[in-house]
Amino acid sequence: MFSQTIALFRYQLLGIINGRIIILLLMICSVAFLASQFVAQLAIINSENIALATMADFLRYSLVLLLIISLSYQISQDYELSQFERLLAMPLSRLQYVLAQFLVLVVLAFVLSMPLFLLIMLLSNTSVAMYWALATFMELMLVGQFTLLAIISLEKLPLAVIFSIALYLLAKSVSLIDLILSRSAPFYDEEGSFQLIQFLFSGIHYVLPDSSYFALNNVFFEPVNYVDLLSTQFISVMVYSIFIQSVILIDFYRKEFN
Amino acid sequence: MAASQRKISQIPAFLLAAFLLFFATQLYFHHAHNKLSNYIYRSLKTPLDAQFYRAVSFGSEQLLSYLLLIRVQLHDNQKGQHVSYSHLDYETLSNWLMTLYNMNPASDYPAFLASRVYSNVQDEKKIRKMVNLIEALFNKNPQQHWRRMTEACLLLKHQLHDLPAALKIAEQIANLPATIKMPFWARDMRLILLDELNRLESAQILISSMLQSGEIKDNDELRFLRDRLLKIQQNLSKNKQN
């Protein structure tokens, strides 16, 4: 079973890691570096930290986008070219397919995080670079699993990309939605519809990642305990990954392929 | 398979005419709009609540606070033209600096802009606004802002010629508890103020003391102060020769 999964993983990996993605990655890194140097020219004080934080955030969001598009494209091709029908005709379980895709995600997230580590290490120090690369790796793993869920459920590339980005932004906007609800409460507290929205959102809160699941950009401005931050993020991402993987498996096992 | 293209002559004439008309309209509209908006000065908009900016920063509140500060700092450059600080609304500017400080209390940037950048204006009310802002920041965190308060003393004495107000501020610094760490010269600001020194001499003493104290860690600020000190020293030697 294990060798079959590895064989499937290698086959899938060849389709996703190619020259095009490496060139794109190099271009993103160059743009991020240039944009950060431009910001550094504008800042009068603290320019090094501002430039570094700008570059780190620019790279984080670009890599998330790149990961979502690459993964969605890869699996949407499996649907379009009827690969699933062929794969499932072989002695392969659906669990093996999901596992192979998870391994592809691990390698892709690692490949995307590497230039991030090197670039930040060149411009700053190893500990900050190590923190940011590991934290971004975990963030990419989280978003990658949203994407796996989206593309396996929705099957179409545009739908999966929009859904993944929407989910990512919703998770990032938790504090903004909280603020809107708390500011609106004095005006609409009596209204049933408002209470329903509050109830729904507090429910959604439980199944959405919060800020502890993502890389924290403030590390570029203040001394922090990297081990504490990384261990908290690791545990949160681990627990959430198990939950998401179970949803993916249930959804995938319910699918009918003719 | 890609579809082959028909000749342009096969397109109905009214479609081509409509295209040319809309193209010309677009060019004219863009040109006219550009001309109109060339000379309009956009005033600084009132800031929203610090909590709002923190919420929309997606967890990068310190970075967003710096980027917003840079945006505020660049407000005096519009369409490639430098707008004099006297055109800026200092009430709104002061609100922006305070909001961005509340968003990122660890940052010294808002106080730096108030004392070193926006105080370079020939308007008493505007300078007082900046001094009030520095005082408000100092009251929030004396350890972080005592340096800006010493600069505010010199602003009051030399730019506004208001020695009593400068002495009041110097007294606030002197009365800080011993737990607030700062060099002796800062506690003795009153002596510098009461001394018969001119603006350049006072500034020279202040900047030299700051540089020697080792309190300034930021390389950009060190460079900025060294440049300023060099200019002051050049001006002083020129004055002496004259």
Which residues on chain A are in Cβ contact (under 8 Å) with B74?
A: 42
Q: Is B144 on the interface with A (CB under 8 A)?
A: no
Residue with tokens 């009153």: B190
Q: How many CB pairs under 8 A join A and B?
A: 76
Q: Identify any residues that bridge with B81 across adjacent strands, giving them in sequence order.
A: B78
Say which amino acid occupies A170: L
Which residues on chain A are in Cβ contact (under 8 Å) with B70?
A: 39, 42-43, 50
The alpha-carbon gap from A176 to the nearest alpha carbon of chain B, in Å, equals: 5
Q: Identify any residues that bridge with B77 across adjacent strands, giving them in sequence order.
A: B82
pLDDT in tens, B44-101: 899 999 999 999 999 899 999 999 999 999 988 877 778 888 888 999 999 999 999 9
Closest CA to B72 of B98, B106, B104, B105: B98
Nearest residue of chain A to residue B112 (CA atoms): A45
Q: How confident is the model at residue B39 (pLDDT cuts 50, 70, 90)?
A: low
CA angle in degrees (0–180, nearest 5) for A64-A60-A56: 170
Average pLDDT over residues A225-233: 94
- Beta carbons of B59 and A47 less than 8 Å apart: no
Say which amino acid occupies A106: V
Contact A139, A214 (CB under 8 A): yes
The residue among B219 and A239 whose pLDDT is bigger is A239
Q: How confident is the model at residue B197 (pLDDT cuts 50, 70, 90)?
A: low
DSSP string for residues in A94-123:
HHHHHHHHHHHHHHHHHHHHHHHHHHHHHH
CA angle in degrees (0–180, nearest 5) for B132-B134-B140: 105
Crossing angle, helix A94-123 and helix A126-154, to 10 degrees? Answer: 150
> What percent of chain A is predicted at pLDDT more than 70?
99
**Among B52, B59, B74, beta carbon nearest to A216:** B59
- Beta carbons of A46 and B109 less than 8 Å apart: yes
The alpha-carbon gap from A93 to the nearest alpha carbon of chain B, in Å, equals: 37
B72 Cβ contact list (under 8 Å, min separation 6): B44, B93, B96, B97, B100, B113
Q: How is residue B222 written in tokens? A: 């060190």
b vs e for A43-77, b when ≥16 Cβ sit within 10 Å of the residue's Cβ? Answer: bbbbbbbbbbbbbbbbbbebbbbbbbbbbbebbbe
On the 0-12 / 13-18 / 19+ scale of CB atoms within 10 A, B159 is middle
- Beta carbons of A214 and B59 less than 8 Å apart: yes
Nearest residue of chain A to residue B69 (CA atoms): A43
H/E element, A214? none
Nearest residue of chain B to residue A53 (CA atoms): B63
- Beta carbons of B59 and A42 less than 8 Å apart: no
Which of A37, A46, A123, A182 is best to mutate for the B interface (most B CBs within 10 A)?
A46
ipTM of the complex: 0.89
Contact B44, B75 (CB under 8 A): yes
Say which amino acid occupies A112: L
**Among B54, B58, B66, beta carbon nearest to A43:** B66
Over 80: is that where the pLDDT of A79 sits? yes
Contact A217, A70 (CB under 8 A): no
Residue with tokens 């190619």: A18
Residue B92 has a CB neighbour count (10 Å cut-off) of 16
B125 Cβ contact list (under 8 Å, min separation 6): B90
Nearest residue of chain B to residue A173 (CA atoms): B58
pLDDT in tens, A146-196: 999 999 999 899 999 999 999 999 999 988 998 999 988 888 878 888 889
Q: How is residue B186 written in tokens? A: 């800062």
**Among B54, B60, B220, beta carbon nearest to A46:** B220
pLDDT in tens, A88-97: 788 788 899 8
The pLDDT, as a whole number, for residue B1 is 44
The pLDDT, as a whole number, for residue B3 is 60
Closest CA to A65 of A30, A98, A21, A11: A21
Closest CA to A98 of A248, A239, A244, A242: A248
pTM across the whole model: 0.84
